[in-house]
Amino acid sequence: MKELKIALLGLGTVGSGVYTSIMDRKGALEELLGHRLKLSSILIKDSSKARPFVKGVPLTSEFEKAIGEEVPDVVIEAIGGIEPARSYIIQSLEAGCHVISANKDLIARHGEELTERAAAKGVRFVYEASVGGGIPILRTLRELLRINRIQHVEAILNGTSNFILSYMRTTGSSFEKALELAQKKGYAEPDPTNDIEGLDAFYKAMVLSKWIYGVQPSWEEVQVEGIGNVLLEEIQLAEQMGLRLKHLVLLNDRLDLQVQPVFVDSDHPLYGVEGVDNAIRIQTDLLGCLTLQGPGAGAEATASAIVEDLLSIYETREIYRNKPAVSELCPKKQEQEVNTYLLVGEKINFTKERISAIEKHGIIIDRTSLRFQPISLAALLYEGPLPLEQEDEFISVISIYPVRLSKSGKGIEKEKVPVAE
């Protein structure tokens, strides 16, 4: 039986999760892999930290030692950031190692280069854990939806933002208080900028775009808005209308990408995704809508994606040689400057409460611009009477447009939004 040697770079949240998962499941992994497994070295930064849970695996703070003394078959990168992670991955690939990474920042920026380097050396570079933590988003898209064309995806990809919005809604707390709790609970980093400003979700969206469509939208042109400007009043008004404000990634096969807070209707599968969970709703031409929901971060969940990736390297090699199911791409700039969306499911239910909230808060609805579509990213400002269309006894899809509130000198104001189309 051949022995597979694995080097682990980083022993923080993710690295420790990987260490423990591999150690705990060594027998089962060896059976599935058909090889013996050996963690050959672990790279850390600070040699003075005590790591009493590590048993029998050499720790080093020198990359050359981690990879040089006993060239590993697989390198797992769980350091984060661009450098030195990028250089270490390149050196590992050049040395003929497969590489697994959880590093969305790096993959969003340099994924193409790293994938090409891997291909040139005949090794694999995989990174399921970089998008959606434990949820097998990337492999579902590429392995299980091969003939399905991905028309658009809507996703909650930043657990910290989702936690903050959930917490504000359920407890009536301010943004600041919710953020503080997220940090206390370890969901948000000490410097939470990437989460709060939408950058973390943006990087993941860029990884997704490349993965699904083979290209990324222009980095400069994507609108990225975080949750820093979300008002409690806005969340509460939405709730009165049966809507929730969620921080979403919206990406379609025309390479339109938005990363921003969106009102979500109660019939939409992302409506119920609360706390630190992540989720993605995938619209395809054949299957229809598939939604995956699960833990988007955390030591064990992330380790799950990494260890499943490890198995995939040795077990489903062939599948990766196929081209991804690429949609007909017609990248185009967005025509209108609308920056708030309302996501509705297939049916929208106009309860008495909702109607009166709509009326009370002056949402204006236009009977003439009704759009009946299975799922809409519609941002429509309606004028006129409330459109109640009866079909059987449900009411058909109507995209209503909740007014986005904004802070101004005079307190909270309703924002004027241009009418779309």
Ligand X SMILES: NC(=O)c1ccc[n+]([C@@H]2O[C@H](COP(=O)([O-])OP(=O)(O)OC[C@H]3O[C@@H](n4cnc5c(N)ncnc54)[C@H](OP(=O)(O)O)[C@@H]3O)[C@@H](O)[C@H]2O)c1
Residues marked as catalytic: 204
Name, in order, each residue with C-beta under 8 angstroms of 3's C-beta and a sequence gap of 6 or more.
35, 36, 37, 38
Binding mask 25-64 for a copy of itself (x = CB under 8 A): x--xx-xx--------------------------------
**Which partner in ligand X, a copy of itself, none is near 180 (CB below 5 to 8 A by kind)?**
none
Q: At CB < 8 A and 24+ separation, what contacts does 387-392 make?
A: 388/350
**Which partner in ligand X, a copy of itself, none is near 14 (CB below 5 to 8 A by kind)?**
ligand X
Within a 10 A sphere around the Cβ of 73, how many other Cβ atoms? Answer: 21
Binding mask 223-262 for ligand X (x = CB under 6 A): ----------------------------------------
* Cβ distance to ligand X smaller for residue 15 or 269: 15
Determine if 174 is a binding residue for a copy of itself (CB under 8 A).
no
Determine if 133 is a binding residue for ligand X (CB under 6 A).
yes
Given candidates 68, 84, 294, 331, which one binds a copy of itself under the rule CB under 8 A?
Answer: 294
Given candidates 49, 55, 352, 416, which one binds ligand X under the rule CB under 6 A?
Answer: 49
Given candidates 60, 151, 183, 291, which one binds a copy of itself under the rule CB under 8 A?
Answer: 291
CB of 42 to a copy of itself, least distance (A): 20
CB of 5 to ligand X, least distance (A): 19
Radius of gyration of the chain (CA): 23
Task: Report the b/e string of 261-297 with b at 16+ CB within 10 A.
Answer: bbbbbbebbbbebbebbbbbbbbbeeeebbebbbbbb
Determine if 355 is a binding residue for a copy of itself (CB under 8 A).
no
Within 13 Å, how many C-alpha atoms sit on residue 67's CB side?
22
Q: Report d(CA 284, CA 323) in Å as an integer.
A: 17
Q: What single DSSP character describes residue 287?
A: S
* Cβ distance to ligand X smaller for residue 10 or 269: 10
Instruction: Kindly provide the residue ranges of all beta strands, DSSP E only, lying in 64-202, ordered along the sequence.
Output: 74-77, 98-101, 125-126, 150-156
Determine if 393 is a binding residue for a copy of itself (CB under 8 A).
yes
First to last CA, the chain: 64
C-alpha closest to that of 68 among 99, 43, 38, 100: 43
**Which partner in ligand X, a copy of itself, none is near 103 (CB below 5 to 8 A by kind)?**
ligand X
**Which partner in a copy of itself, ligand X, none is near 11 (CB below 5 to 8 A by kind)?**
ligand X
Total residues found in the chain within this entry: 421
**Which partner in ligand X, a copy of itself, none is near 32 (CB below 5 to 8 A by kind)?**
a copy of itself
Q: What single DSSP character describes residue 383?
A: -
Determine if 11 is a binding residue for ligand X (CB under 6 A).
yes
Q: Judged by CB under 8 A, which stretch of 2-10, 132-140, 223-231, 353-361 contacts a copy of itself? A: 132-140
Dihedral of CA 311/317/318/322: which sign? positive
Binding mask 302-331 for ligand X (x = CB under 6 A): x-----------------------------
Q: Report d(CA 88, CA 92) in Å as an integer.
A: 6
Amino acid at 263: F
Q: Report d(CA 88, CA 30) in Å as an integer.
A: 26
Determine if 364 is a binding residue for a copy of itself (CB under 8 A).
no
Name, in order, each residue with C-beta under 8 angstroms of 401's C-beta and a sequence gap of 6 or more.
340, 342, 363, 365, 378, 379, 380, 381, 382, 417
C-alpha closest to that of 258 among 342, 323, 179: 342
CB of 295 to a copy of itself, least distance (A): 5
Binding site for ligand X (CB under 6 A): 10-15, 43-46, 49, 78-80, 84, 102-104, 129, 133, 297-298, 302
Binding site for a copy of itself (CB under 8 A): 21, 25, 28-29, 31-32, 134-136, 139-140, 143-148, 167, 170-171, 173, 181, 185, 266-267, 269, 271-275, 284, 286-295, 298, 300-301, 303-305, 307-308, 311, 315-316, 318-319, 322-323, 325, 345-347, 349, 392-394
